[in-house]
């Protein structure tokens, strides 16, 4: 058998995890401290008209990075020195506008790890809008050059809770009634939906306010239409400190997570370790994730697996919606439709890893072994599967060890070769090192996915 073992990359889980750790450490080092770009352009000339405009996408990225520092207890508290105070005293050009709740736990400068002159902040209980709020935002986009508006709702918001708890004929204390009235449309929108009513209402309120701002004439609606500004919604989690961007903005934040083939492989194998240890996270399986992906998918890996009910890739790699592009057919064999599917994921969706997983005691391979060694006759369409798997069984025959298990491994590796050699986009991507195609074997007993050499 010629499987060309030496040219295949041999991975061990330990080596990968170590490499992964190094890669992550390097990535963290490569990222310049976010305070640098914030303070550098402003130095010397604080006239907002001189200031280079920060695009909405870069502004969003800066907020995500700042929030990440805050969450991981690595806050840098940039731009909070007396030098910075003096510098911005002459003029401000905040890169983002944040409309947040007045809640004392939701300070935008703190949760996004920013300083003086960075954020133009409007705060009102329940992050609702009024003419004065709109005017403030208009001023910042029209005169200060801000390009991003974030409407930031937060977990357990008291104002939204008051709106949720208010019955139709309740009389609110003092001026609270008018605030509650502003939030009630969001509550009405999510009544009866699955999940927590308050949290659903908090998200709906942030998104509703975002939509209202986008449609507000004459300044905001025009600038949105001309793509001069972006208005996005977020939810701050009091427990974790993390800000999740909602709707289309979530998908924008996602490309930052785009990984190379080794990163993708590490992510799969780490997920498999969680699965084996019973420590699954089941992440990215929420209604939010679903909504976020409705606009488009960017799966990080393609998996060709058997249709066998025990070999669900999402489960054995502990991944969620939008993570894996999965092709499944008995015996994890390829036909032109399977090849086309894989090609689409690599060429159009940018997946950089293709894994072919055979599995222990595969019925399709077993049937083929029986046909080859006992002369059984396959029934009906099964003959197509047997024909596809037969070359693997023939090659495995001369190998020491268990014929079925050898055939399962050889079959996966033959499919790897076929994907790599598939003329056109796949072969090109392999040649240009844009995609890594590897074979693996899944053990039904231990749950381990082993990379095949």
Residue 331 is encoded by which pair of tokens? 């015996």
Nearer to Zn ion, 308 or 318 (CB): 308
Residues 325, 301: contact at Cβ < 8 Å? yes
Residues 61, 256: contact at Cβ < 8 Å? yes
Residues 179, 128: contact at Cβ < 8 Å? yes
Q: How far is the CB of 172 from Zn ion (least distance, A)?
A: 16
Nearer to Zn ion, 157 or 187 (CB): 157
In sequence order, what are the beta bridge partners of 153? 235
Nearer to Zn ion, 101 or 415 (CB): 101
Closest CA to 393 of 416, 365, 356: 365
Options 149, 213, 306, 452; binder of Zn ion; rule CB under 5 A: 306
Q: How far is the CB of 180 from Zn ion (least distance, A)?
A: 13
Q: How far is the CB of 45 from Zn ion (least distance, A)?
A: 38
Options 207, 230, 244, 308; binder of Zn ion; rule CB under 5 A: 308
Q: Which stretch binds Zn ion (CB under 5 A): 200-208, 251-259, 300-308, 399-407?
A: 300-308
Per-residue contact flags (x/-) with Zn ion for residues 352 to 391, judged by CB under 5 A: ----------x-----------------------------
Q: Which stretch binds Zn ion (CB under 5 A): 27-35, 96-104, 243-251, 278-286?
A: 96-104
Per-residue contact flags (x/-) with Zn ion for residues 241 to 280, judged by CB under 5 A: ----------------------------------------
Nearer to Zn ion, 101 or 223 (CB): 101
Q: How far is the CB of 47 from Zn ion (least distance, A)?
A: 36
Options 100, 101, 121, 357; binder of Zn ion; rule CB under 5 A: 101
Please work out the total of residues on this chain that contact Zn ion, with binding judged by CB under 5 A.
6
Q: What are phi and psi of 346, to 5 degrees?
A: -80, -45
Helix, strand, coil: what percent of the chain each, to 5? 50, 10, 40
Edge-to-edge strand order for the sheet containing 96-100?
119-123, 96-100, 148-154, 230-236, 243-245
Edge-to-edge strand order for the sheet containing 301-305?
324-328, 301-305, 353-359, 436-442, 449-451
Q: Which stretch binds Zn ion (CB under 5 A): 95-103, 186-194, 253-261, 263-271?
A: 95-103
Q: How far is the CB of 199 from Zn ion (least distance, A)?
A: 12
- In Å, how far are 186, 317, 366, 436 from 355, measured between CA atoms? 44, 12, 21, 8
Residues 371, 392: contact at Cβ < 8 Å? no
Residue 31 is encoded by which pair of tokens? 């990222």
Q: Which stretch binds Zn ion (CB under 5 A): 93-101, 205-213, 240-248, 415-423?
A: 93-101
Per-residue contact flags (x/-) with Zn ion for residues 148 to 187, judged by CB under 5 A: ---------x------------------------------
Nearer to Zn ion, 213 or 264 (CB): 213
Three state DSSP letters for 65-91: HHHHHHHCCCCCCCCCCHHHHHHHHCC
DSSP letter at 188 equals: H
Is residue 412 close enough to count as binding Zn ion by CB under 5 A? Answer: no
Contacting residues toward Zn ion, per CB under 5 A: 101, 103, 157, 306, 308, 362
């Amino acid at each position: 058998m010629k499987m060309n073992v030496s040219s295949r990359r041999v991975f061990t889980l330990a080596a990968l995890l170590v490499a992964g750790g190094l890669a992550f450490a390097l990535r963290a080092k490569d990222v310049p401290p976010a305070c640098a770009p914030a303070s550098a352009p402003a130095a010397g000339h604080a006239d907002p008209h001189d200031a280079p405009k920060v695009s909405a996408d870069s502004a969003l990225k800066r907020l995500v990075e700042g929030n990440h520092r805050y969450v991981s207890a690595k806050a840098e508290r940039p731009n909070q020195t007396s030098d910075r105070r003096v510098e911005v005293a002459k003029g401000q050009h905040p890169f983002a506008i944040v409309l947040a709740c007045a809640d004392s736990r939701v300070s935008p400068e703190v949760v996004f790890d920013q300083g003086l002159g960075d954020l133009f902040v409007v705060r009102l209980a329940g992050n609702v809008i009024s003419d004065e709020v709109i005017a403030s935002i208009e001023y910042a986009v029209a005169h200060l050059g801000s390009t991003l508006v974030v409407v930031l709702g937060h977990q357990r918001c008291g104002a939204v809770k008051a709106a949720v708890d208010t019955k139709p004929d309740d009389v609110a204390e003092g001026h609270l009634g008018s605030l509650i009235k502003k939030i009630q449309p969001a509550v009405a929108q999510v009544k009866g939906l699955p999940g927590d009513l308050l949290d659903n209402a908090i998200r709906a309120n942030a998104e509703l306010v975002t939509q209202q701002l986008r449609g507000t004439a004459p300044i905001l609606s025009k600038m949105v239409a001309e793509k001069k500004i972006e208005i996005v919604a977020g939810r701050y989690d009091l427990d974790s400190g993390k800000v999740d961007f909602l709707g289309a903005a979530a998908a924008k934040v996602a490309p930052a997570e785009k990984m190379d083939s080794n990163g993708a492989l590490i992510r799969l194998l780490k997920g498999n370790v969680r699965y084996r240890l019973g420590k699954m996270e089941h992440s990215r399986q929420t209604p939010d994730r679903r909504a976020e992906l409705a606009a488009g998918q960017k799966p990080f890996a393609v998996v060709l697996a058997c249709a066998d009910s025990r070999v669900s890739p999402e489960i054995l790699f502990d991944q969620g919606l939008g993570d894996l592009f999965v092709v499944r057919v008995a015996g994890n064999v390829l036909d032109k439709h399977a090849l086309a599917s894989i090609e689409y994921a690599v060429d159009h969706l940018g997946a950089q890893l293709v894994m072919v997983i055979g599995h222990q005691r595969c019925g399709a391979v077993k049937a083929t072994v029986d046909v080859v060694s006992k002369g059984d006759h396959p029934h009906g369409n099964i003959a197509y599967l047997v024909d596809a798997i037969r070359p693997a069984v023939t090659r495995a025959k001369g190998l020491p060890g268990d014929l079925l298990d050898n055939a399962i491994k050889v079959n996966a590796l033959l499919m790897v070769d076929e994907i790599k050699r598939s003329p056109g986009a796949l072969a090109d991507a392999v040649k240009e090192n844009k995609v890594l195609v590897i074979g693996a074997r899944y053990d039904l007993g231990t749950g381990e996915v082993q990379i095949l050499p």
